[in-house]
Amino acid sequence: MKAVFQNIFLFFTIMKKTFLYSAIIVCTVLISLEIVCRIIEHWIPPHIVDIGLGFTPQSRLFVEDENRRGFMRTAPAKTIAFHTDSFTIKKDKRSCRIFALGESSVNYLDSEFRLLEVRLRKHLQGRFDDVDIINAGGLSYGSQRLVPITAEIMNYNPDLVLLYSGHNEFEEISQLKFASLKTIWFQQLIAKSALLRCMRDRITDVIVAKLRSDHNNRILKRERPDWSEALRYNFTVKDVRTRMENYRNNLSRIIEICNKNRVPIIIGTVPSNLVNPYLPNSAEDQYKKVYELFDDKKYLEAANLGRLIIKNTPGRHQSSDSENKIIRSLAAEYGCPLADVEKNIIADEPHNVPGMALFKDHCHLNAKGNKILINTYEPLILEILKQKQ
């Protein structure tokens, strides 16, 4: 019996030493790899990653500019989705600061904003010495991620907020699933390791390269590019109601944040391309009847049917009558100035059908369409700013 206990003790002693030596070797290898990865990062900087996606103080849209004292600038982690912009931390009383809030349709308006600044300075001479429009339009941003941005920009003394958002209410699925507030602390913790950052970045590079290759192949084959996670997500009819309820709640919160801080806000309706929509395959089959009606020159009938199909399509990637009904009702409820872009686009389109001449794709307006958008907001902007003391 004594021999048995001695053998068991010897076994555990050997196992203990084996485990200890193995742990030392593993730790040595990991530490060595960590050192190597930190050295590599001097030549290949890690990817800029916004872990919080705007929902934490650490992932704000604007940060203090390290190179220009007294200035804020777009956070590096945000430049993949936003224009690089800057403004002074302390705003002069004779300066006017406008934030344009929204999605890619706003992001693409930057050149129009610069021209608008010039016109506003001319019209507001004697009241303001300068007018600065800060482009806060984010690529693929829906209303949910615009709420924390609205709360953030209230810290920067805005004189006016312009809101134009409605195409991406089914688009944020792919982004929001990585923005769990419960796991952000863990994501931030592991991101402190150069080894894990290197592994993350290389995996990301492979995934992005494959997505680009697939996307290019579909273009070469003249297939409809399908880059949207929303078009691969199995939305249901119930999801349509839920997303629209969320949209109303998010826009309400944006307006209420502005009202609480006594910052005027102009909200705009969002036209949608009825001639060449971007819909899931199931809705594409239904839309064939709309194309037939267009071919038969039955424009009003085609437009009405197209509106109905888009409105009821789960996972759509463009605005519909539902979004615009919500926008109009909130403008009336809160007494906000309404820039009725949809109405003006329809009025300027051939046969009054959105998509005939003023869109460059399913949701983005072309240069002429963007001028109509800006011209719809401009008189409302002037009216508000001329009333400011």
Last residue of a domain, one of 163, 198, 220: 220
Q: In terms of domains, do 254 and 358 share one?
A: yes
**For 131, phi and psi rounded to 5 degrees?**
-130, 125
* 3-class secondary-structure state, position 266: strand
The DSSP result for 86-135, as a single string, is: EEESSPPTTEEEEEEEESHHHHTTHHHHHHHHHHHHHHTTTT-SEEEEEE
- The per-type count for the chain, helices as H runs and strands as E runs, is 13, 8
Give rounded-to-5 percent helix, strand, coil for the chain: 55, 10, 35
Beta strands in 276-368 (DSSP E): 338-339
Q: In terms of domains, do 126 and 63 share one?
A: yes
- The pLDDT of residue 213 is above 90: no
CA 208 to chain centroid, in Å, comes to 19
CA 350 to chain centroid, in Å, comes to 31
Does the residue 50 lie in any domain?
no
Place of tokens 């076994």: 11
Domain count, the chain: 3
The answer to whether the beta carbons of residues 327 and 338 sit under 8 Å apart is yes
Q: What value does the mean pLDDT take over residues 90-104?
A: 93
Using pLDDT thresholds of 50, 70 and 90, give the confidence band for residue 261.
very high
Q: In angstroms, rounded to a whole number, what is the distance separating the alpha carbons of residues 120 and 131?
A: 7
The whole-number pLDDT of residue 340 equals: 97
- The pLDDT of residue 224 is above 60: no
Q: In terms of domains, do 195 and 74 share one?
A: no
Q: In terms of domains, do 173 and 189 share one?
A: no
Does the residue 357 lie in any domain?
yes
Q: Which residues contact 355 (CB under 8 A, 6 or more apart)?
A: 272, 273, 274, 275, 276, 277, 349
Does the residue 318 lie in any domain?
yes
Map 209-274 to HEC letters: HHHHHHHHHHHHCCCCCCCCHHHCCCCCHHHHHHHHHHHHHHHHHHHHHHHHCCCCEEEECCCCCC
Q: In terms of domains, do 352 and 260 share one?
A: yes
Q: In angstroms, rounded to a whole number, what is the distance separating the alpha carbons of residues 253 and 360?
A: 31
Higher pLDDT pick, 264 / 204: 264
Q: In angstroms, rounded to a whole number, what is the distance separating the alpha carbons of residues 189 and 184?
A: 8
pLDDT tens across 123-139, in order?
Answer: 988 888 899 999 999 98
Q: In terms of domains, do 106 and 33 share one?
A: no
The whole-number pLDDT of residue 55 equals: 63
Q: In terms of domains, do 40 and 136 share one?
A: no
Q: In terms of domains, do 87 and 4 share one?
A: no
Model pTM above 0.75: yes
Which of 103, 111, 248, 119 lies closest to 162 in space, CA to CA? 103
The whole-number pLDDT of residue 227 equals: 44
Does the residue 51 lie in any domain?
no
Please state, in angstroms and as integers, the Cα–Cα distance from residue 245 to each residue in 55, 249, 257, 387, following that order: 20, 6, 18, 34
The whole-number pLDDT of residue 10 equals: 57
The answer to whether the beta carbons of residues 106 and 137 sit under 8 Å apart is yes
* 3-class secondary-structure state, position 246: helix
Q: In terms of domains, do 287 and 314 share one?
A: yes
Angle between helices 321-334 and 299-311 (to 10 degrees): 80
The whole-number pLDDT of residue 121 equals: 93
Exposed, middle or buried by CB within 10 Å (0-12, 13-18, 19+), for 303? buried
Q: In terms of domains, do 207 and 293 share one?
A: no
Amino acid making up residue 213:
S
Using pLDDT thresholds of 50, 70 and 90, give the confidence band for residue 225.
very low
Q: In terms of domains, do 295 and 258 share one?
A: yes
Tokens representing 67 are 């190179």
Q: In terms of domains, do 76 and 216 share one?
A: no
pLDDT tens across 22-46, in order?
Answer: 778 878 887 888 788 888 878 888 8
Does the residue 302 lie in any domain?
yes
Give the least confident one: 30-39, 136-145, 379-388: 30-39
Please state, in angstroms and as integers, the Cα–Cα distance from residue 248 to each residue in 165, 190, 314, 362, following that order: 11, 36, 17, 23
Does the residue 102 lie in any domain?
yes
Place of tokens 């926008």: 327
Does the residue 130 lie in any domain?
yes
Does the residue 368 lie in any domain?
yes
Q: In angstroms, rounded to a whole number, what is the distance separating the alpha carbons of residues 31 and 45?
A: 19
Tokens representing 87 are 């403004």
What's the whole-number average pLDDT of the chain? 85
- Residue numbers of the domain that contains 204: 185-220
